[in-house]
Amino acid sequence: LPCQIGDYTDFYTGIHHATAVGKLFRPDQPLLPNYKWVPIGYHGRSSSIRASGVDFRRPQGQFRLAADAPPVFGPSRRLDYELELGAFVAQGNALGEPIAIADAEDHLFGVCLLNDWSARDIQPWEYQPLGPFLSKNFATTISPWVVMPEALAPFRVPFERPAGDPQPLPYLDSAANRAAGAFDITLEVSIQTPRMREAGLPHERLMQSNFRDSYWTIAQLIAHHTVNGCNFGAGDLLGSGTQSGPAPGQGGSLLEL
């Protein structure tokens, strides 16, 4: 790992992912009313974060084989990945002292790639009403390198909300964030199985998306996370949530594809 990670929070900033998954679980209301107003997130498990390339055990848990069947216990049959961007905190803040959005990027150390491994059969049985638990906390992998904000400067783009969508509340809004708070970063997922490697076959690209489609910026995540006085520590990690694109075939997880 590139640093010692104290705390880990996973957000849900990919609106195309949230909409696609919402259609699977809630066809009548894919996006809940709060989504466009508040950055949604949950506290993850920092102890199971590893650098990319490590092996980990297939998780076990409860799941149902049919909607009207009682749960069974066993190893997950629907292991999935999630394409995310990770953001590392540089210096933290004191308990009770929020980080204003104007100062938020002063607390950003850099970004990495993040894979939020997910057990899709365990997840729907456990996530209501408090959210993911065993379906997420068994493994998260990140790139062992960190890209600094200075290296991202050429890829900054304006942060804009679609016409008709609510504008962020004042504590999530600033002139600097509107002018250059988003990042034009292309993200891809490829797969190469052991059998493909043995046969000398190259990896196969499954999808491509762009972080500029994220519904919230990194600065907004930092400001929102601390607005209630929550204290960051150096090395804390924020996950962006799955970054899917708007077009068919741009899902950032197997669940969508």
* Active site positions, annotated: 17
- The 3-state DSSP composition of the chain as helix, strand, coil percent (nearest 5) reads 25, 25, 55
3-state SS, residue 160: coil
What are 142's strand-pairing partners? 51, 114
- Complete DSSP assignment for 61-75: EEE-SSTTSPPEEEE
Do 95 and 250 meet the contact criterion of CB atoms below 8 Å apart? Answer: no
Radius of gyration of the chain (CA): 18
What distance in Å separates the CA atoms of residue 44 and residue 136, rounded to the nearest whole number?
Answer: 8
Do 86 and 114 meet the contact criterion of CB atoms below 8 Å apart? Answer: yes
What are the distances in angstroms from CA 92 to CA 14, 16, 78, 88, 222?
Answer: 25, 31, 37, 11, 10
| Cα dihedral 123, 50, 184, 174 sign | positive
**How crowded is the C-beta side of 91, counted as CA atoms within 13 Å?**
5
Task: Provide the residue type at 248 as one letter.
Answer: P
Query: Do you know the residue count of the chain?
Result: 257
**How crowded is the C-beta side of 76, counted as CA atoms within 13 Å?**
22
